[in-house]
Structure 1
Amino acid sequence: MKPAASAAGDLRVFSAADLADATSGFSPLFLIGEGGFGKVFRAMVHLTPVAIKVLDHEGLQGLREFQNEMTILAGLQHPHIVRLLGYTAEGPGESSVPSKDGEGIQALVYELMARGSLDEHLASKNTATSLGWFTRIKIAAQTACALAYLHNNGIIHRDIKPANVFLDADFNAKLGDIGLAAMDRLYGGPGAHRWQNLDTTGQGSSVGQEAIGTWQYLAPEYRTQSHSSVQTDTYALGLTLLQLVTGASGPKDLVHLAQAALEQATLKSKFLDASAGDWDLQAGERMVKLALWCCMHNPSQRPSCATVFTSLKALLERLCSMQP
């Protein structure tokens, strides 16, 4: 398992034994997450707080996605993308469970995001720890900024959702879980809307494969045609923005509810999350309208993530200028 050659010197090779020592043999006490790729453990390695993603060879996401994440992240540097620190060089083991001495594991080591994932905060019913509305707008802008950067580098994330947005100690957002991302290349003449998805080996995969990602966040064209593009990321971003303004734990029916709230002028009374504080109504309305623009059924009518970021950045600057 090797990173991109151009970025290999920027990544550290971690000893699997060191990672096992730092987690007391991958004890459940250090477990902070679990998904199709395997388990994620919190640890302190060489005086650095880290998150260790250990590949489960029997998981839903296989070695290919695991290697894809490492290859892509090795070449990226952005303040709002979770930073990959290094990897283990050991060969794959037979077991799906990490051994206590780490023998045979394959792992990626990231900076630790102290506040966890955005969905954990949205799911919390503790109003005392709820994210304030200004912080939510900041998180939206930072997520859009990270996506615009990925798109500018020819990368589609393909799994945008609150669970893949992480928060640092100061509640700054960083986009993570790049394993399902595709290096994409537009082909055909001007205006063509077909994409060729490339894996990290550079071999193309055909359009029309089974859609990859989280079903609730898939754009209509992705559900029906397995057709990923920067516009499908934009659609998922729109749903994530709606969750930010409502505090909903999932995106179901949010588009229709947002449209109704705008038409009936009930945004503040029925739609905006009251636990986020006393919303600036113009700011809340701007967030909702941007989200709905992102969720347009026709992908060609959706804004770019760069446009979303520019609009949210301008909104934050306006709000800051209003402070006494």
Structure 2
Amino acid sequence: MGGAMKMTNNFQRVLGKGGFGTVYHGNLDDAQVAVKMLSHSSAQGYKEFNAEVELLSRVHHRHLVRLVGYCDDRDNLALIYEYMANGDLKEHMSAHYRKTRRGNVLTWENRMQIAVEAAQGLEYLHYGCQPPMVHRDVKTTIILLNERYGAKLADFGLSISFPIDGEYHVSTAVAGTPGYLDPEYHRTNSLTEKSDIYSFGIVLLEIITNQPVIDKTRERTHINEWAVLMLTKGDIRNIIDPKLMGDYDTNSAWKTLELALGCVNPSSNRRPTMHTF
């Protein structure tokens, strides 16, 4: 605990909060780091801690956040990651972020680059590492941005590896975040890499529209149902984030929207793979 207190200057600056821990800004050997604190008292938190350490100790990719180290000293657990200066994608797209940090609206080009880099991170999990992995909790808050707006995936506490026998399918208790959760996985408990594809489709819709994933005041509560409804009105301008002020490539926007809607197809067999990106 003393090491974590010293590293974070007595937990002075909070970078973010997740389901199983708070992330603090820290310094280690003159380098900035992010320190996620978890409690031993949370059985799920301890399970996620071990899952992250196990995965990030053996899996390395330029679009996965790097684990610098970890602490396990009696009462507390800490995961130490590389520092990502521009926070997560969700907060960076929000009005709150721009108000508090004087950030700018992410350009269409920025958004497309972030989407591609996040997709490359997922593709590596699905096809590049052995055994293949499924993230299980893909959402805008786990896409972190560095000082150049380069994207890296984080939060691997729910990740699960597939059997090495080639069967891309595992039965497991359902886990994930409401709104991003694959309805087929929720219904059958049968997990495949296509469940990550569904969640990534929701992320793409957020990137395009900057709409909440679930909004009970909207004509259609869920973002994908809302996007389909708006499309029936025939004009993509009804869907694109108005904060872009029309500054986007229409052809690129149509292609990205078409891809996003393919990803959220109710049938996993009809969704694309990460190779599509």
TM-score by shorter chain over 0.5? yes
Residue 61 to residue 249, structure 1, CA distance change in 2 (3 Å): farther
Alignment partner of 1:120 out of 71, 91, 96: 91
Aligned-residue offset at 1:238? 0.2
Alignment partner of 2:185 out of 222, 229, 234: 222
Are the aligned partners of 1:37 and 1:60 in contact in 2 as well (CA < 8 Å)?
A: no
Alignment partner of 1:294 out of 238, 263, 269: 263
Alignment partner of 2:33 out of 31, 45, 50: 50
What residue number does 1:149 align with?
Answer: 124
Q: Which residue type is aligned with residue 259 of structure 1?
A: V
Alignment partner of 1:111 out of 82, 88, 95: 82
Answer yes or no: is 1:20 the counterpart of 2:5. yes
Are the aligned partners of 1:235 and 1:294 in contact in 2 as well (CA < 8 Å)?
A: yes
Aligned-residue offset at 1:60? 7.2
Q: Which residue type is aligned with residue 280 of structure 1?
A: D
Aligned-residue offset at 1:115? 0.4
The number of aligned residues is: 263
Structure 1: runs of 5 or more not aligned: 1-15, 94-104, 197-206, 310-324
Deviations 1:242-282 (A, max 9, x none): 000001232552222322333332112x1101212411111
Deviations 1:99-118 (A, max 9, x none): xxxxxx22110001100011
Deviations 1:163-182 (A, max 9, x none): 11111111111100011100
217-226 or 118-127: bigger deviation: 118-127
Answer yes or no: is 1:172 the counterpart of 2:150. yes
What residue number does 2:204 align with?
Answer: 241
What residue number does 1:184 align with?
Answer: 162
Aligned-residue offset at 1:76? 1.4
Q: How large is the Cα RMSD of the aligned pairs?
A: 2.0
Are the aligned partners of 1:208 and 1:225 in contact in 2 as well (CA < 8 Å)?
A: no
Structure 2: runs of 5 or more not aligned: 215-220
Are the aligned partners of 1:36 and 1:61 in contact in 2 as well (CA < 8 Å)?
A: no
Alignment of structure 1 residues 170-319 onto 2, 5 Å: 170-185=148-163, 195-196=169-170, 207-209=171-173, 211-251=174-214, 252-268=221-237, 270-277=238-245, 278-307=247-276, 309=277
Aligned-residue offset at 1:20? 1.4
Deviations 1:32-66 (A, max 9, x none): 22222222110111101000111122347321111
Q: Which residue type is aligned with residue 138 of structure 1?
A: Q
Alignment of structure 1 residues 133-148 onto 2, 5 Å: 133-148=108-123
Q: How far apart, in 1, do the equivalents of 2:46 and 2:235 lie? A: 48
What residue number does 2:21 align with?
Answer: 38
Residue 249 to residue 257, structure 1, CA distance change in 2 (3 Å): closer
TM-score (norm 1): 0.76
Q: How far apart, in 2, do the equivalents of 1:113 and 1:61 lie? A: 25
Q: State percent identity of aligned pairs.
A: 32
Q: How far apart, in 2, do the equivalents of 1:164 and 1:59 lie? A: 21
Aligned-residue offset at 1:89? 4.5
